[in-house]
Amino acid sequence: MTHRLSCLYPFHCQNQAVNHAFYSICSAWQRPELQATLIVPSCEPSLRSANVIEAVPRWIKPLVYRWEAGPRHFAQQTFLRSLNTYDAAFIWPGVSLSVLQKTKAAHKPIFLERINTHVGYAKSILDQESQRLGVPPQHEITATDITHESSELKLADYIFVASPEMRKSFLEAGVEAEKLIDTSYGWEPKRFPKLGITEHRSEQINVLFLARICVRKGAHRLLQWWEKANLKAQLTLFGAIDPAIEQTCRHLFALPTVQHVGFTLNYTDAYRHADFFVMPSFEEGSPLVVYEAMAHGLPILASPMGSGGIVRDGIDGFVIAPQQDDDWIEALTTLCHSAELRKKLGQSARERAQCYTWEKVAHRRALEISARLSV
């Protein structure tokens, strides 16, 4: 039996960052057991297909995009008008609560995507770390946000959680375990045409951090560990710097062994020139950059949040809580000093990544959805 799924994403889809995950998963759901239609306000021309519906007519697109809520409104209305022709809904964050309520009233099963931990859980973690750093909280999570997500979670029939840390956060928030579907994110081999080409790396060890340089990602701790480790190696950080980090860590960016590179969409060379990858996040879902770094054969040094649930401690790298300063300094030193260990962990990481291509991730998710719709 084939199930028809309406997939709603309320923002312009350009196959980058978060919407790369949405598009990669849903566009692969053209299978005998599951047929998906992607409803978005608009998308890049290269993404257009018979299975993608652009809700905003092109002739009024400039006008609609002047209205902040306009694109989301058009996508949501298109989704609701066609809902009765589908068996279930797959809904991403950013949708209004009324859409979930109307979907529920139409007796359509709701599969809800979450891309981070529960917002209340995240707020607690980030408030605590910001206080330790001596800066105001660097998030915008409010009591209203927490109430809103709680309402969403109650309306959902099923919730995709992409890591064990995410599952833990939702269980602690009172979500029934039966609602949670364990899953992952993934990576796309076609985005890295040079993946199989051997790269001659510099004699100087290059440690890569690739994310927004902020408290949430643990960038401040990483810089502090790096200074204390005092290694003959280079730490390269790609990404925009939050004001709180720029304010408190300015002297650390001035270290001769620290290089900062601004935001860019093409990280192929960054992976290929690195010796190992670091992700010391305090709050996270399952970061796409970790999958991509593993695919490039890089050992991963990450926090439990940053590991995304796919890095196996001692096998693909090391998983260390970001509060364990001495252990992080030791791990950085060990990986910088041992080429043999890096090779061993990197090979394991590369092999592990082959299980997480978007095609395979989408297939596993399709089976999860079909099993629940077939009951």
Backbone angles phi, psi at 16, to 5 degrees: -135, 150
Which helix (DSSP H) or strand (DSSP E) does residue 88 occupy? strand 88-91
Q: Which fold has domain 189-356?
A: Rossmann fold (3.40.50)
Sheet holding 34-40, edge to edge: 52-54, 34-40, 3-8, 88-91, 110-113, 158-161, 180-182
Q: What are the extents of the domains in the chain?
A: 3-187+358-373, 189-356
Same fold, 3-187+358-373 and 189-356: yes
**Confidence grade of residue 352 (pLDDT, cut at 50, 70, 90):** very high
User: Per-residue pLDDT tens for 204-263?
Assistant: 999 999 999 999 999 999 999 999 999 999 999 999 999 999 999 999 999 999 999 987
The pLDDT of residue 263 = 73
- The reported pTM is 0.96
Q: CATH homologous superfamily for 3-187+358-373?
A: Glycogen Phosphorylase B; (3.40.50.2000)
Give me the torsion for CA of 23, 28, 33, 35, rounded to 10°: 50
Taking alpha carbons only, the member of 8, 18, 23, 10 closest to residue 71 is 10
Angle, helix 288-295 to helix 339-353, in steps of 10 degrees:
110
Tokens of residue 83, six digits: 């809902």
Q: Is the pLDDT assigned to residue 3 strictly greater than 80? A: yes
| Helix (H/G/I), strand (E/B), else coil: 37 | strand
User: Per-residue pLDDT tens for 100-156?
Assistant: 999 999 999 999 999 999 999 999 999 999 999 999 998 999 999 999 999 999 999
The pLDDT of residue 265 = 67
**Confidence grade of residue 292 (pLDDT, cut at 50, 70, 90):** very high
Q: What is the mean predicted confidence (pLDDT) over 12-41?
A: 95
Tokens of residue 31, six digits: 């299978």
**Confidence grade of residue 27 (pLDDT, cut at 50, 70, 90):** very high
